[in-house]
Amino acid sequence: MHTNPEVKAKRELTPTALILGVILAVVFGAANAYLGLRVGLTVSASVPAAVVSMAVLRFVLRRDSILENNMVQTIGSAGESLAAGAIFTLPAIYLWAEERPMDFSAPEMLSVTLIALAGGLLGVLLMVPLRRPLIVEDKALTYPEGVACADVLKAGEAGAKHARNVFVGLGAGAAVKTVTGGLKWIPENFLFPVHGTRGALGFDISPALLGVGYIVGTKVSTLLFGGTLFGWLVLLPILAVAIPGAGSAWDVQSAQHIWKHYVRYVGVGAIAMGGFISLVRSLPVFLSAFRRSSVIGSSVIGDNIADHRTLADHRTLDLPMKAVVGGVAFLVLFIWLVPAIPVSFLGAVLIALFGFFFATVSARMVGLVGSSNNPISGMTIATLVVATLALRETGTTGAAGMVAAIAVGSVVCIVAAIAGDTAQDLKTGNILGATPWKQQTGEVIGVIASSLAIGGVLILLHRAWGFGSDAISAPQAMMMKSIVEGIMGDGLPWGLIAGGAVFAVVLTIFRVPVMPVAIGMYLPVGLGVTMFVGGLLRWFVDWRRGGNASGEDSVTLLSAGLIAGEGLCGILLAIFALF
C-alpha cells in the first residue's frame, strides 16, 4: 500500500517521532545536567537533535518527512532546557543539607520531578500566545538556532549535495571540540590582562559561537561585543580601583574575580530592567495576540479538525486558549497545594508573575542571541532577589524561607529555559510549515519525559561525586545559594544591581537595544568576542555579495553545522564522563 505523498509530507506527530524524541529528551537532559554542573553552561540541543533525527529517520529508517524530523528535535530539545533550569538552582538545597543536616533535608526524587514538571509545563503554555507576535510577526527577531535547525533539516531533505556544507561544519565543529574539550590539547578559553587599564580581554575557541555570531548578524553581535567591552575594559578597571586591594597584583585571576563578584551584578541589574522594559513594550501586542487567539476557537482538536472547511486553518492554529488559561491556573494551584513542592501561596503568586514576565523576556532574548547564550541564570537571580526579600519580609525566614526561595527560583528558571527552547522550536516549525499545536503538544511530551528522568539524574550525580566537588562544582547553584544566604543576611550588592538598572534606562533613552548590551556585560568575555568575529564574517559575506546573505546560503549552512558539531560532541563528551 502506497502512502499519499501529501500525507507523507505532512506526517508529524507519529509514534516513531514520539519514541525517538523522548529518548533524545532523556539523553540530552542527562548529558547537559552533568555538563552544566561541571562548567556552569549547557549546550542547546535543538540543532544536535535535528541532526540526530535526520540521521536516524532519513538515513536509517528511510522515512523522509521533514515535519516528522522536526517533531523529533522539538521533543528532544526539551530535555536540555529543563535540565538547565533544574541544575542551576536545586543543587543549592543539597548543599545546605550537607552543611546543616539538622535544618535541611535533600529533596526527594518526587519533589524534583514535580518542580521540573510544573515549571516545564508553565513554560510551554505561557509561550502559546506569544508565538504569533514574536515568531511570526516580529521580523527583527532572527532566532539563530531555530533558523539553523530549519537549514539542517532542509539540507537533509534536499539531499546530499545541499547537506554537504552542514556536514562539513558538523565535522569541523566536532573535531575542534574534541581537541579542546575532549583531548584538551588546546585550551578552550583564553584571557589576557590589558596592562595599563586593569581590564582584560580574551576569546573562546568555539566553532559554535562563530556560527551563532554569523547567524544573528553583524548588528546584534556588535551590540553584544559593545557590552563585553564596556564590562571588561570600562567597568572592571573602575571597580578595580574602587575596591580596596583588588588591583595590587593585577592578573587574569583578579579580573575574573572582579567580573564574577561585581561586574556581573551590574549585568544582572541591566538584564532585569531590560526585561521589564521589553515586557512593557510587548504587553499591548501580547494582549492583542491573546484576544485574537481566544477568538479563533476553543477547540483545535475538536471542531476545527472535524470541519473540513477549516482544515487549512487548523494547520496554523495553536493550542486552544481555554486550555492554556485553565492549564496555567491549575499549575499555579498545583504548585501551592502539593506538599512535595515547598512553595506557599505567596510563592505560587510570585511564580505566576515572574513566570509570565521571564517567559516573554526569554522568548525575545533567544531571538537575538540563541538559546545557548540565553542568560537564564540572570533571570533566576532577579527572581531570587525579589522572592527571598518577599519571603523574609512576610516572616518566612531560616531554612524554610531559603528552601522556598530556591523552589520559586527553580520553577521560574525552568519556565524561562523551556519558553526559550519552545520559541526556537516554533521558529523552526514556522519556517518548515509545521503545525503549531502539534509542536506545542510535542514540547509537553518532551517536558513530561525529561521531568521523570531529571530527579534520578540529580540524585545519581550527587551520590557519585557530590555537588560542589571538583568533578561537579555546580557553579550556578553555588551562586544562587550565596544570593539567598546574602539576602537573608543583608549581604547582596544592591548598589551594583541598581547601577545596572539605571544603565539600562540610559541605553533605552538613547534608543540603544538594552538586551544585547546587557548580555554582553553578563556573559564571560570570550563569548562576546568570539560571537563578534562571527558577526564580522557575516558583514564580509554580505559585503562581497552586495546585500544580505540568504538564510540558506552556503556559509549559513556551514554555521549551522558548526553549531551542531560542537553541540553533539559536547553532549557525547558529557555522556562519556557521566558513565
**pLDDT class for 303, splitting at 50, 70, 90?**
very low
| Per-residue confidence (pLDDT) for residue 40, from 0 to 100 | 66
pLDDT per position as a tens digit, 107-119? 889 999 999 999 9
Burial class (CB in 10 A: 0-12, 13-18, 19+), 371: buried
**pLDDT class for 105, splitting at 50, 70, 90?**
confident
Would you list the DSSP string of 283-304?
A: HHHHHHHHHHHHHH-S-IIIII
| Per-residue confidence (pLDDT) for residue 490, from 0 to 100 | 62
Which runs of E-coded beta strand occur in 363-515?
none
CA 443 – CA 418 distance, rounded (Å): 9
**pLDDT class for 306, splitting at 50, 70, 90?**
very low
Region 187-199 average pLDDT: 82
Is residue 338's pLDDT more than 60? yes
CA 117 – CA 415 distance, rounded (Å): 10
| Per-residue confidence (pLDDT) for residue 239, from 0 to 100 | 87
Nearest to 375 by CA among 544, 516, 532, 497: 516
pLDDT per position as a tens digit, 76-97? 989 888 988 899 899 999 999 9
Q: Are 397 and 391 in contact (CB under 8 A)?
A: yes
500 compared with 382, residue with greater pLDDT: 500
| Per-residue confidence (pLDDT) for residue 223, from 0 to 100 | 94
Region 150-173 average pLDDT: 75
Q: Tell me the three cell numbers of residue 464.
A: 557519585
**pLDDT class for 245, splitting at 50, 70, 90?**
low
Is residue 495's pLDDT more than 70? yes
Contacts of 281 (CB under 8 A, 6+ apart): none
Q: Any idea what DSSP says for residue 232?
A: I
CA 489 – CA 51 distance, rounded (Å): 48
**pLDDT class for 211, splitting at 50, 70, 90?**
confident
| Per-residue confidence (pLDDT) for residue 332, from 0 to 100 | 93
Q: Are 388 and 487 in contact (CB under 8 A)?
A: yes
Distances (CA, A) of 186 to 179, 204, 216, 504: 7, 11, 27, 37
pLDDT per position as a tens digit, 512-567? 988 889 888 888 888 889 999 999 999 998 888 876 554 456 787 788 788 778 87
Half-sphere exposure of 158 (CA within 13 A, CB side): 15
Region 248-275 average pLDDT: 81
Q: Are 143 and 419 in contact (CB under 8 A)?
A: no
Tell me what the pLDDT averaged over the chain comes to: 82
Region 123-140 average pLDDT: 87
Region 270-298 average pLDDT: 64
Query: Residue 134: left if φ>0, alpha if ψ -120 to 50, beta else—which one?
Result: alpha
Nearest to 450 by CA among 33, 71, 15: 33
Is residue 339's pLDDT more than 70? yes
CA 441 – CA 166 distance, rounded (Å): 29
| Per-residue confidence (pLDDT) for residue 307, from 0 to 100 | 38
3-class DSSP state for residue 201?
strand
Is residue 61's pLDDT more than 90? no
Is residue 318's pLDDT more than 60? yes
Total residue count of the chain as it appears in this document: 579
Q: For the chain, first and last CA: distance in Å?
A: 44
CA 233 – CA 18 distance, rounded (Å): 49
Q: Output phi, psi for 200, to 5 deg.
A: -155, 150
Q: Any idea what DSSP says for residue 204?
A: E
